[in-house]
């Protein structure tokens, strides 16, 4: 039932490779629209999932994205003189990636898996589709943006980030937290107000990131995300109840 989308989208991407300019962009948009839209116009009836296996596959995708962001740190440092600022920026980047990992794997993924397992029938399939096949893409995409921002920081530690790099780094951070909230809202019908506030603050800080040295901007984002992770780990009642079983 989903074959037209899964075959039609890639076919348009192949065709797009033969064109340049606006037409190429239009074909890419059409391919994405078919790819993501086909599941909504086709019934989920008849699809069944193994919750444990399904969730594990998507966890691995996120782990791969986080791993690639660590690779980006190495790539960004390649060819640079490994002075104090470059090493410090690399350390900030590594700690930031660890915070991203912690914010997802400490309890978000546990709550989502438990909810998916407790749901049944067509609603379980729809939840799996929405939460994992779609919303997870926001988080994966945000990690890619953050990796780009870290790489640019390493290349220009003492200079302010350009607009694109600042948007990638801080906008990616905000998108990551918003993706978590979208994930939570789809599964539980509520959001983390704290993560929403931090996401908004992160967006506001883009205007600061283009004015201060890149390493300072990266340090600010790292402290913000590490602080969020520590606060939730120590004081979040929702997290503590979930981890307690």
Is the pLDDT at 214 greater than 90? The verdict is yes
> With 70 as the cut, is the pLDDT of residue 48 above it?
yes
- pLDDT of 38 > 80? The answer is no
Cα angle at 164 between 177 and 34, to 5 degrees?
A: 65
pLDDT tens-digit map of 91-132? 999 999 999 999 998 878 888 888 888 888 878 888 888 888
Residue 43: the pLDDT is 56
* CB neighbours of residue 103 within 10 Å: 22
Cβ-based neighbours of 223, under 8 Å, separated by 6 or more: none
Q: Is the pLDDT of residue 4 over 70?
A: no
Quick one: pLDDT at residue 41?
A: 63
- Sequence-distant (6+) residues with CB within 8 A of 151 are 72, 73, 75, 76
Calpha distance 89→204 (Å, rounded): 22
Number of C-alpha atoms within 13 angstroms, CB side, residue 87? 4
Which of 5-19, 41-55, 143-157 shows the lowest per-residue confidence on average (mean pLDDT)?
Answer: 41-55
CA 118 to chain centre: 25
Cα–Cα distance measured from residue 11 to residue 14, given in angstroms and rounded to the nearest whole number: 5
Residue 120 sits at φ, ψ, to 5 deg, of -140, 170
C-alpha to C-alpha distance for 34 and 41, rounded to whole angstroms: 10
Distance CA 144, CA 175 (A): 11
**Burial 34-68, CB ≥16 within 10 A → b, else e:** bbeebbeeeebeebeeebeebbeebbeebeebbee
Q: What is the mean pLDDT of residues 148-156?
A: 90
Which residues on neighbouring strands pair with residue 213, listed in sequence order?
160
Distance (Å, rounded) from C-alpha 163 to C-alpha 149? 10
Measure the CA–CA gap between 230 and 153, rounded to whole angstroms.
Answer: 25
Residue range 159-171: mean pLDDT, rounded: 94
> Would the pLDDT of 237 be above 60?
yes
pLDDT > 90? residue 216 = yes
* Residues 6 or more apart in contact with residue 120 via CB below 8 angstroms: none
Strand-pairing partners, residue 160, are: 213
pTM of the model: 0.84
């Amino acid at each position: 039932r989903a074959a037209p989308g899964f075959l039609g989208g890639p076919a348009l991407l192949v065709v797009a490779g033969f064109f340049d300019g606006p037409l190429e962009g239009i074909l890419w948009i059409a391919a994405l629209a078919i790819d993501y839209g086909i599941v909504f116009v086709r019934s989920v009836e008849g699809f069944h999932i193994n919750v444990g296996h399904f969730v594990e596959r998507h966890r691995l995708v996120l782990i791969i994205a986080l791993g690639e962001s660590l690779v980006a740190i190495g790539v960004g440092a390649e060819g640079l003189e490994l002075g104090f600022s470059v090493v410090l920026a690399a350390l900030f980047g590594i700690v930031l990636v660890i915070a991203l990992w912690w914010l997802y794997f400490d309890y978000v993924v546990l709550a989502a898996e438990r909810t998916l397992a407790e749901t049944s029938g067509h609603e379980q399939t729809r939840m799996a589709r929405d939460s994992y096949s779609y919303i997870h893409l926001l988080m994966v995409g945000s990690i890619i943006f953050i990796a780009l921002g870290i790489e640019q920081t390493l290349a220009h530690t003492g200079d302010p980030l350009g607009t694109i790099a600042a948007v990638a780094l801080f906008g990616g951070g905000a998108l990551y937290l918003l993706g978590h909230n979208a994930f939570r809202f789809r599964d539980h019908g509520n959001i983390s107000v704290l993560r929403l506030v931090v996401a908004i603050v992160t967006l506001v800080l883009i205007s600061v990131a283009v004015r201060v040295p890149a390493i300072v901007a990266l340090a600010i984002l790292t402290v913000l995300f590490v602080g969020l992770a520590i606060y939730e780990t120590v004081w979040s009642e929702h997290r503590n109840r979930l981890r307690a079983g």
